[in-house]
Structure 1
Amino acid sequence: MNEIESSSPQSRGPADHNVRDQIVAAADEHFSRYGYDKTTVSDLAKAIGFSKAYIYKFFDSKQAIGEAICAQCLSKIIAAADEAVAGATTPTEKIRQLFKALVATSVSLVFNDRKLHDIAARGAGEKWPSVRAYAEHIRQFLTEIVREGREFGEFERKTPLDETVHVIYLVMHPYVNPLLLQYNLDHAEEAPAQLSSLVLRSLAP
């Protein structure tokens, strides 16, 4: 559940080709040093030692390369959330740990590397496929947890499941969306506990 695909149609070449991975790794390093906006495919070609035409065999644009990097970053966040939820013993605790892990890992990965944040924010603003997949993963987490909580009698059952999940996601959104999180960093430490408590009170049977 914790692997986010870069499912954009811009990806070219065999998905398991080691050259594709080499291009992504080199681009990640180059973007971190010079920034996403200031880097061109020509710059990457020079840095890697490939021709621009060869890179275009695997990616048809800089955005497609950024998409692959964004997918890798978001997969790490989902993996951390998956581990946190797996370690919780009750649906109530799973809600708390999910929110905490998503925010803490996002801050650690994205905001300790401002260049990576540029890519993640661009992806969120332009709704790249990896960002949409990331949001869907979070909704899947919530759906499974809420369904389990209802089965165990921890959560109310009157509200339709999809409506409940949607509202919880809306509460979490300012802290799990890379574009919005940058405006909420001042509260990122205490917000997960406070907002998860608010959500859990609304879920009480």
Structure 2
Amino acid sequence: MRARILEVAEEHFRRIGHHKTSVADIASEIGMSPANVYRFFPSRGAINEAICRRVVNEVADIAFAIARTNAPASERLDRLLTAVHQHNRTKLINERRMHDMIVAAMQENRAIIKTHLERMVTIFEAIIREGSEAGEFQVEDPAEAARAVKAAFMPFFHPILIEHCIQHGEDTEAGLREQIRFILKALGKSD
């Protein structure tokens, strides 16, 4: 039943937005009372959190899949950063209501966002460490480098910043390529 509630909630979030979806809307579609929904989720916020987790897990799944490939570290990092940006940009353009939910979660400083960012830094660190061990990167502290990559990539990672760039007609693709080249150079990528 939890899965069904989340399925209906996500469909409503995608169609009318998370702010406009009520527990009563979700319950009505499933054919139960709102009180019954609360048996499975202690609050409306818990439903939001679960849907938000699904959305950020999409990004993490993309990152993990790229990180696990056998390509050189610089290529994996490039592909990962590009894929994450393109996923977030697509979410803004094609799934605006889900984009808005992630923005709200970030503005509310929800734990799920903090956990997601930490997971992404861990993925960056693993790639950087492997690249350093292979002599591809010249990095003393892969953890510190991973945090720096996150900070340097934030304009292409953070949904509000992506939205700002698109609204102001900036060429995000050209900027993305430049920033990835900068990041790889900063990691001491040997040619």
Q: After TM superposition, is the score higher than 0.5?
A: yes
CA 1:99–1:73 in 2, change beyond 3 Å: closer, same or farther?
same
Query: Which of 138, 145, 154 does residue 173 from structure 1 map onto?
Result: 154
Structure that is richer in helix per residue: 2
CA drift at 1:110:
4.5
**Greater Cα offset, 50-59 or 180-189:** 180-189
Query: Which of 6, 9, 30 does residue 12 from structure 2 map onto?
Result: 30
CA 1:198–1:144 in 2, change beyond 3 Å: closer, same or farther?
same
CA contact (8 A) 2:18 2:101 kept: yes
Query: Which of 183, 186, 189 does residue 164 from structure 2 map onto?
Result: 183
CA 1:50–1:188 in 2, change beyond 3 Å: closer, same or farther?
farther
Query: Which amino acid in 2 is paired with 1:176?
Result: F
Matched, 1:202 2:186: yes
CA contact (8 A) 1:31 1:39 kept: yes
Query: Which amino acid in 1 is paired with 2:21?
Result: T
Matched, 1:70 2:76: no
Query: Which amino acid in 2 is paired with 1:146?
Result: I
CA contact (8 A) 2:52 2:101 kept: yes
Q: 1 or 2 for the larger relative contact order (CA 8 Å, sep ≥6)? A: 1
Give 3-state SS (helix, strand or coil) of 2:39's partner: coil
Matched, 1:40 2:10: no
Question: 5+ unaligned residues in a row in structure 1: which ranges?
Answer: 1-18
Cα RMSD (Å) of the superposition?
1.8
Identity %: 28
How many residues are matched? Answer: 186
Query: Which of 133, 154, 172 does residue 151 from structure 1 map onto?
Result: 133
Q: CA separation in 1, counterparts of 2:81 and 2:13?
A: 29
Q: CA separation in 2, counterparts of 1:72 and 1:98?
A: 19
CA contact (8 A) 1:94 1:145 kept: yes
Q: TM-score, normalised by structure 2?
A: 0.88
CA contact (8 A) 2:139 2:145 kept: no
CA contact (8 A) 2:67 2:127 kept: no
Task: Report matched runs for 1:10-159 at 5 Å.
Answer: 19-87=1-69, 89-158=71-140
Q: CA separation in 2, counterparts of 1:84 and 1:163?
A: 21
Q: CA separation in 2, counterparts of 1:73 and 1:86?
A: 21
Q: CA separation in 2, counterparts of 1:55 and 1:129?
A: 23
**Which structure 1 residue ranges, 4+ long, deviate > 4 Å from structure 2?**
none
Q: CA separation in 1, counterparts of 2:66 and 2:146?
A: 19
Q: CA separation in 1, counterparts of 2:63 and 2:57?
A: 10
CA contact (8 A) 2:92 2:163 kept: no
Matched, 1:163 2:147: no
Query: Which amino acid in 1 is paired with 2:96?
Result: R
Question: 5+ unaligned residues in a row in structure 2: which ranges?
Answer: none
Q: CA separation in 2, counterparts of 1:81 and 1:162?
A: 17
Q: CA separation in 1, counterparts of 2:174 and 2:43?
A: 39
Q: TM-score, normalised by structure 1?
A: 0.82
